[in-house]
Chains A and B, each alone.
Chain A
Amino acid sequence: MLELVLRIIVYGTVVSGIWALVASGFTLIFGVGRMLNFAHGSLFVLSAYFGIVLTKELGVNPYLSFIIAVLLVGVVGVGIYKVTISPIRHHEVMVIIVTLAIALLVEQILLLIFGDYGTSFPSLVKGIVRIGELPVPTKRIVSLIVAIITLILLEIFINKTKTGKSIMASAQDMEAATLMGINVEKVFMLTMFVSSVLAGVGGLLYSQIFSIKPEVAVKALIYAFAIVILGGLGSVRGSIVASFIVGYILITVTSLFGARWSEFTMLLTIIAILIVRPRGLFGVEE
């Protein structure tokens, strides 16, 4: 029993760190541009496949692949924004529909290229650490550390740098930001880059621990939904806190009852939040 609890805490913390990256990216672009990017999960999966192709097919060093894959996904994200979202930014319904179509398009293409098999990014480190009685693979610990560092960098970037402040200013009041001479279009592109990079780091860390399949994109997207609804749409800090709550709930349910209940759990969590506290923990104004 004690081992189970320890297991839930340790493993839950690691997964939650990864989902925190994904969810904070998703909520960032929503908070800044009021855009729901349904292709966010695809960026998560794409970066994993970029990394896998770089290391396994092209023989690039894993650390270097990691960085290249993340940057590539950032560029893909900006591309998606520039080509498809930007022209219809004010047509909210269409943004949702088009990004959903992109998500399915990416999934189909990945399925056609790689097939419906699980594959993994090579472990960045080997070995096992013991926490109490519980053996924990070092790569999980490393994933958590990378996730935390990334989140701290995000926090510093948003609050301390001039560019980050211009992003936050646009999030609070786009018109005022425009009047202050901030190029909002540029801010959106930058936000999309940061948001995609966050998804990308999450995807690589995930595929280093678990196997990745094209359909994981949908799963990642759903977890991100649950997390941002709990954290409050648009709040980065809220989504970080919420990802740990959701992460622990998820890992408790799946380790007690099996993985097939994860979707149910997410839905019930979402519904419970919407009934009890619809604005989430730290929701921003619509």
Chain B
Amino acid sequence: MMRLADRSLDINKMIVIAVAFVLAATIPFYVPDAFVYLIGLTFLFIILAVSWDVMVGYTGQVNLGHTVFVGIGAYTAALLQVPSRFQGSSLEFLTSMPQPPIFISIIAGGVAAAIIGLGIGIITLRLKGYYFALVTAVLPLVFMQTTFVWSGIFGGEEGFSIGLERVLAETVVGRFYAAFIIMVISLAIMLYVVNSSLGLKFKAIREDQEAAEAAGIDTVKYKLVAFIISSFFGGIAGAAMIHYRITVSPDVYGIPLMLLIILATVIGGLGTIYGSIIGGFLIYLAKYWWLREIIDKVMQAVHLPINDEVILYIILIIIGVAMPGGVYQEIKKRIKR
């Protein structure tokens, strides 16, 4: 019986996914170019939200430093493309590196992020409790500081440009499709992982770490696996973003981006993947499309200390307190009553 119900659900799900896929793939045909550019970036942001969800929503370990992996991916890719930035530093020998193809530099961004993730994970994830959250909360500030301390390489506050010839694709529409493909592949892999037996183990850890251990699950190992996958795709998205925007700057490490990721996932519901996709789409577009303009207009009239960030934080607090399971779950629950 269960199986049958599952399958009919699967068919419905498949239809929704297919429709969403077609709608997304045809966006450039009915949306003006300026927004096509923004939607492409949104796709890359969705990778961030989903990859964060793989760790936080599935294993229940709160990673507050996901932007570290975005930043590492971004700067890795950027420095691979512009090795001349190493000139005058102790890493001068790197200046003669050949420029890799864009595809390689994006993968390298993911790998670099995954390696850092492994290092952080080994130290913090073997400990039970809150150490992981505390340490990951500190990381973005430290990494952001690196861009100022070694500003010769990382370009300080301004960052640097990787040059127009290193863009994902020449036209806006071309870049949109490149981002779309990167997103589809990333999401497919992450969905596959969380729906496999690996995902089940992640969830077991989230529900009850001790019970999971008693059942013979090596919790440290699987938390680490989840974290590596999560940081890998964080790095991929970061690197892809750089090839999309052509510039890299410390904002990729920033707390505002972290909050946007959290907000997207929390709205969609932690541990749901699909929720993060929808949440990511809505939140990123809201933030960069219309929210600021509206708030600015309203605030010109009433003069309150409020901007778009304030509104987003308030939304996050309200949703977190009133619907800790996510908006969608809450609506479903209310309807069933």
Query: Which residues of chain A have a CB within 8 Å of any CB of chain B?
Result: 30, 36, 38, 83-84, 87-88, 91, 93-94, 96-98, 100-102, 104-105, 108-109, 112-113, 218, 221-222, 225-226, 229, 233, 260-261, 263-264, 266-267, 270-271, 274-275, 278, 286
Q: Closest B-chain residue to A91, C-beta based?
A: B324
For residue A108, give the distance in angstroms from its CB to the closest CB of chain B: 5
Q: A84-B321, A101-B317, A108-B309 are in contact. Are A229 and B131 (CB under 8 A)?
A: yes
* Assembly CA distance A38 to B262 (angstroms): 15
Q: A97-B266, A286-B128 are in contact. Are A222 and B138 (CB under 8 A)?
A: yes
Interface size class of B (residues with CB under 8 A): 35 or more
Is B62 a contact of A105 with CB atoms below 8 Å?
Answer: no
Cβ contacts under 8 Å, B62 to chain A? 93, 96-97
Pull 25 A–B residue pairs with CB atoms less than 8 Å apart, ordered by A.
A36-B130, A36-B133, A83-B321, A88-B320, A91-B324, A94-B324, A97-B316, A98-B316, A100-B137, A101-B259, A104-B255, A104-B259, A104-B313, A108-B310, A109-B306, A112-B306, A218-B255, A233-B130, A260-B148, A260-B149, A263-B141, A264-B142, A267-B142, A271-B135, A278-B127
* Assembly CA distance A67 to B137 (angstroms): 32
Is A98 a contact of B133 with CB atoms below 8 Å?
Answer: no
Is B129 a contact of A233 with CB atoms below 8 Å?
Answer: yes
Is A112 a contact of B305 with CB atoms below 8 Å?
Answer: yes
Q: Is there a chain A Cβ closer than 8 Å to B72's Cβ?
A: no
* Assembly CA distance A54 to B141 (angstroms): 32
Q: Is there a chain A Cβ closer than 8 Å to B64's Cβ?
A: yes
Cβ contacts under 8 Å, B324 to chain A? 88, 91, 94
Q: Determine the main DSSP class of B at the interface with A.
A: helix
For residue A203, give the distance in angstroms from its CB to the closest CB of chain B: 19
Cβ contacts under 8 Å, A84 to chain B? 317, 320-321
Q: Closest B-chain residue to A258, C-beta based?
A: B149
Q: Give 10 closest A-B pairs by Cβ, nearest first.
A: A112-B305, A105-B313, A98-B320, A101-B316, A94-B324, A286-B129, A267-B142, A91-B324, A225-B134, A113-B305
* Assembly CA distance A108 to B321 (angstroms): 20
